Amino acid sequence: MKKRGILYNTVFTSTGLWLFIALVCLWIPWLGDAPFRSDAEAAEAVLARSILPGGDWILPGGSAGITCRSPFAAWIIAVFAWVFNGGEVNEYISRLPSALAAIALIMMGYVWARKAQGERFALIMALVTATSSGLFRAAMNSGPDMLLTTAIVGSVYVIHEIRQRPGRDNVGWYAAAAGLLTVATLTGGPLAPVLACVAGAIYLLMRGDNFFKVVFRMLLLCVVSYMLPALWYYAACKRAGDAFPGFSISDIACALYGGSDDATSRYNFVWLLLGMLPWTLLALLSLFRAGTYRHWPFKPAGMLAMVTACTVILFCCLMPCASSDCLLPAYPFMAYGVTVIIESLRGTSVIRFFGRTMAFFGIAIPVCLLVLAFFQNPFVEHFELRHWWQWIFVIIPVPVSIWWYMGRSRSPVAMPTIFTLFLCISAALF
């Protein structure tokens, strides 16, 4: 029998297909139900709209437009609008690239974790990543954040795969890494590939690779990732004149030397704890059984997860202009750590308590929404859904929570309840 490739053998299994279908159901049908939630979301749609009528793909918005940042997200939105919606940019089209990027990110993590730790571990990690509140929110927002995260994390996965294939022909893998880093540069600017390459270099050095070879390869990847963006930058400079270099240099200087108005970098750990909800609760509970982790083998995949998460967090702490969305590349690797906790504490009182807590919320939240909808109170805002069928999704977590609670051994940490709660948020609340 002919041996298939890693992507075929991993994604096109029954588990991989069911995971893909679940992720599609989690995000894709509900993207256009809510209007733009912020000025940043609306700004991305305006940039995409500015491309289509006049065809100005070089400098969306013009030299005096909303922003002169890297235009890849606006390009993708404009392409989707032209292909799927007759050139019209709306909420659904604006958010579709982010949702598809989130699905790609989680499926890449599933492929990587399945090869490193097995199918059960990979599936739990994928579902933990999808139900982390920070990444879940970013997947339903218009903008470059989810595209940038997928490009950075994907390139780190590729660097790990290259390290696992010593002595083989890795030209294709290096090309994949360079392509992903090019997308990262076009989406997040010149510092984006540096972040991925620094994380990859630290990991390779910790594995004992030659220092000079590692530095040379990572520098070469960075240089290659700048080639295509340099062509866009040159064309944008010719189009905008002297104004464009000023905008771009000021953006880089802001990231390097400060100038942020909100100083969010001071609260990175707070944002990370909030972004990992509800798994933050499990991580805090696991501190009571910290000795259990001595029995968990620290494999190369775990080293990569630890190094990348720490590098992203440190990078955000050093960049005064960094926002909470800059922490997104750390979330898949934090999910790896949460999965280690779940596997290490399987069958313990910590897991049972966390599962019961999630089952309680799976019942309590829909009941509270029903009360707010049918019993008006002058002191509490009335809850109302746009369509009657959305009540079906609001109610789904209740029987799932009861089913899990009555048969706790069927699944780890009430995963069905948590997933259906997030499906409820997508379909009815977000």
The token pair at 184 is 């990262």
- Of 323, 344, 365, at which residue does a domain stop? 344
Reported confidence tier of residue 369, pLDDT bands at 50, 70, 90: confident
Residue bearing the bigger pLDDT, 404 or 242: 404
Q: How many CB atoms are located within 10 Å of the residue 293 CB?
A: 14
The token pair at 179 is 């392509």
Three-point CA angle 24, 123, 302, nearest 5°:
125
Residues 201 and 131 in one domain: yes
Residues 55 and 152 in one domain: yes
Structure confidence at residue 256 (pLDDT): 44
* Predicted confidence (pLDDT) at residue 241 exceeds the cutoff of 70: no
In a domain, 126, yes or no: yes
Structure confidence at residue 167 (pLDDT): 67
Structure confidence at residue 266 (pLDDT): 58
Structure confidence at residue 314 (pLDDT): 87
Residues 271 and 340 in one domain: yes
For residue range 314-347, list pLDDT tens digits in order.
Answer: 888 777 666 777 889 999 999 999 999 888 888 7
* Predicted confidence (pLDDT) at residue 259 exceeds the cutoff of 60: no
In a domain, 1, yes or no: no
| Separation CA 57–CA 78 (nearest Å) | 9
Residues 83 and 122 in one domain: yes
Structure confidence at residue 262 (pLDDT): 45
Going by C-alpha positions, the residue among 342, 304, 340, 7 that lies closest to residue 164 is: 304
In a domain, 268, yes or no: yes
CB 121 within 8 A of CB 339: yes
The token pair at 92 is 């659904």
The token pair at 81 is 């609008």
Residues 321 and 353 in one domain: no
In a domain, 308, yes or no: yes
Residue bearing the bigger pLDDT, 292 or 9: 292
Q: Is 208 helix (H, G, I), strand (E, B) or coil?
A: coil
* Predicted confidence (pLDDT) at residue 257 exceeds the cutoff of 50: no
Distance of alpha carbon 276 from the chain centroid: 11
* Predicted confidence (pLDDT) at residue 30 exceeds the cutoff of 90: no
* Predicted confidence (pLDDT) at residue 254 exceeds the cutoff of 60: no
CB 423 within 8 A of CB 393: yes
Which residues is 377 bridged to in the sheet?
A: 380
Three-point CA angle 119, 125, 128, nearest 5°:
140
Going by C-alpha positions, the residue among 319, 399, 412, 324 that lies closest to residue 363 is: 399
* Predicted confidence (pLDDT) at residue 258 exceeds the cutoff of 60: no
Three-point CA angle 363, 128, 22, nearest 5°:
75
CB 94 within 8 A of CB 41: yes
Matching residue, tokens 């390009």? 75
DSSP 4: P
Structure confidence at residue 151 (pLDDT): 95
Structure confidence at residue 11 (pLDDT): 52
CB 255 within 8 A of CB 315: no
Residues 125 and 218 in one domain: yes
* Predicted confidence (pLDDT) at residue 278 exceeds the cutoff of 90: yes
Domain of residue 389 covers 349-429
In a domain, 307, yes or no: yes
Residues 256 and 137 in one domain: yes
- Of 291, 319, 344, at which residue does a domain stop? 344
In a domain, 140, yes or no: yes
* Predicted confidence (pLDDT) at residue 377 exceeds the cutoff of 70: no
Structure confidence at residue 64 (pLDDT): 47
Residue bearing the bigger pLDDT, 293 or 173: 173
Q: What is the CA radius of gyration of the chain?
A: 22
Residue 277 phi, psi dihedral angles, 5° rounding: -60, 145
Structure confidence at residue 154 (pLDDT): 95
Reported confidence tier of residue 27, pLDDT bands at 50, 70, 90: very high
Residues 99 and 173 in one domain: yes
Structure confidence at residue 261 (pLDDT): 42
Structure confidence at residue 260 (pLDDT): 43
Residues 405 and 331 in one domain: no
The pLDDT > 90 percentage for the chain reads 36
Residues 183 and 207 in one domain: yes
- Average pLDDT, integer, range 32-41: 78
- Average pLDDT, integer, range 203-224: 92
Indicate the range of 44-48, 75-79, 254-258, 315-319 predicted with least confidence. 254-258
Residue 55 phi, psi dihedral angles, 5° rounding: 70, 30
Burial class of residue 28, CB neighbours in 10 A (0-12, 13-18, 19+): middle
Residue bearing the bigger pLDDT, 176 or 388: 176
Mean pLDDT of the chain: 82
Domain count for the chain, please give it: 2
Residues 273 and 411 in one domain: no
* Predicted confidence (pLDDT) at residue 3 exceeds the cutoff of 60: no
In a domain, 182, yes or no: yes
In 258-330, alpha helices (H): 268-275, 279-286, 300-318
Structure confidence at residue 201 (pLDDT): 94
Residues 329 and 377 in one domain: no
What single-letter amino acid sits at 311? T
- Counting Cα atoms < 13 Å in the Cβ hemisphere of 105 gives 30
Structure confidence at residue 2 (pLDDT): 45
| Separation CA 117–CA 76 (nearest Å) | 34
* pTM, to two decimals: 0.89
- Counting Cα atoms < 13 Å in the Cβ hemisphere of 24 gives 6
| Separation CA 255–CA 323 (nearest Å) | 10
* Predicted confidence (pLDDT) at residue 173 exceeds the cutoff of 70: yes
- Of 322, 344, 366, at which residue does a domain stop? 344
For residue range 139-170, list pLDDT tens digits in order.
Answer: 998 888 899 999 999 999 999 999 888 767 78
Structure confidence at residue 223 (pLDDT): 92
In a domain, 363, yes or no: yes
For residue range 76-133, list pLDDT tens digits in order.
Answer: 998 898 888 877 888 899 999 999 999 999 999 999 999 988 899 999 999 999 999 9
The token pair at 10 is 């991993």
